[in-house]
Amino acid sequence: MANEGPDDRKKGLGRREVLECMVWAGTGVLWTITGGVPHSVGLIGEAAAAEPAKGFTFLQMSDSHIGFDKAANPDALGTLREAVAKVKSMPTKPTFIIHTGDITHLSKPAEFDNADKVFGETGLQTHWVPGEHDIIDEERGKAYLERYGKGSKGAGWYSFDDHGVHFIGLVNVVDLKGGGLGNLGAEQLAWLEADLKDKSASTPIVVFSHIPLYVLYKDWGWGTEDGQRALDLLKRFGSVTVLNGHIHQLAQKVEGNMTFHTALSTAFPQPAPGSAPSPGPMVVPADQLRTKLGLSTVTVMQGNKPLAIIDKTLA
């Protein structure tokens, strides 16, 4: 997968990958980074057996919507707890969690308190970026930044390095323009350019934000207005993995050295693009809900191997 050209995007996912995604849809994505390029490697159990503890694993969790209690899931905190229980029982302890936003539903202090409590139970460090639901307090994002903004710039963007991988958390939910999509803004793009300047092209990059960086479905605002400018800055790197949330369903694509992945929510599913009158919460039969919620596990292998993502449902 590392050397796939632009034409490969037409191929989409192979049957095996699709099946794997289906199986894991709902709990999360298991990402394995091997040599910097992400790919799906199968069930978490299989992955662990096939790739014994040489690399490191992290989790992507998203769209917890703590406080959501409507028909699509009357107990979003409960399903988050189920997801966290799965994290705690993983045979290979992940190194950390990346949360791709919408931690809370309404940015209320009690919702953030519950987030601290429940994610704290994992014993893992969590790297956050805000979703639009996390900055709707009266002071428009102050509550989020007070809790999670330490060491970040602007509305909460930052980068860090772990196991030779450069991780970048971007914020694309602030200062949105009427008729527009997600927004990074000039200041953040300038910061990104400077952040990448001294990085060698062989450095594996994982970039994460709430709203998908590329335009996945414009009619529902599923994309980032100036996301392409960020992707252009990342083009020279041999391995770029883009992790997003917001759409509460799995979507993957590969373009050259870039792999895009959106994670499942732990709160409620949303409809496939254009399949419903609006992107609002999708009500499914109660016994099917957990097949549509989940998290992702990403495993990064040392050496010249691709990164692997596995999505796991709560079912």
Partner 1 sequence: MQTLMNQFRLAIARFTPGRAVVAAMLLGLVAGALLAFGAVAAQEENVVTIDNFTFTAPELTVAVGTTVKWVNHDDIPHNVVNKDKLFRSKALDTDDSYSFTFASAGTYDYFCGLHPHMQGKIIVK
For 238, how many CA atoms within 13 A lie in the half-sphere containing its CB? 18
Contact with partner 1 (CB under 8 A) among 3, 10, 52, 138: 138
Q: For residues 184 and 283, what is the distance between their CA atoms, to the nearest angstrom?
A: 32
Quick note: the x/- pattern for partner 1 over 262-291, rule CB under 8 A, is: ---------------xxxxx----------
Q: In sequence order, which residues have a C-beta less than 8 Å from that of residue 255 and are 6 or more positions away?
A: 6, 9
From 44-52, 55-63, 102-110, 297-305, span contacting partner 1 (CB under 8 A): 102-110
Taking the CB of residue 169, how many other CB atoms lie within 10 A of it? Answer: 25
Q: Which residues pair with residue 306 across a beta bridge?
A: 37
Least distance from C-beta 133 to partner 1, angstroms? 7
- Minimum CB distance to partner 1 smaller for 174 or for 309: 174
Residue that the structure tokens 């903004």 belong to: 149
Which of 194, 180, 192, 167 lies closest to 132 in space, CA to CA?
180
Quick note: the x/- pattern for partner 1 over 56-95, rule CB under 8 A, is: --------------xxx-----------------------
Contact with partner 1 (CB under 8 A) among 13, 18, 106, 215: 106
185 binds partner 1 (CB under 8 A): no
Please state, in angstroms and as integers, the Cα–Cα distance from residue 53 to each residue in 87, 92, 281, following that order. Answer: 17, 8, 38
Q: Is 84 exposed, middle or buried (0-12, 13-18, 19+ CB in 10 A)?
A: buried
- Minimum CB distance to partner 1 smaller for 192 or for 211: 211
Least distance from C-beta 72 to partner 1, angstroms? 7
Contact with partner 1 (CB under 8 A) among 18, 43, 118, 136: 136
Question: By the criterion CB under 8 A, which residues form the site for partner 1?
Answer: 70-72, 105-107, 132-133, 136, 138, 176-181, 218-221, 277-281
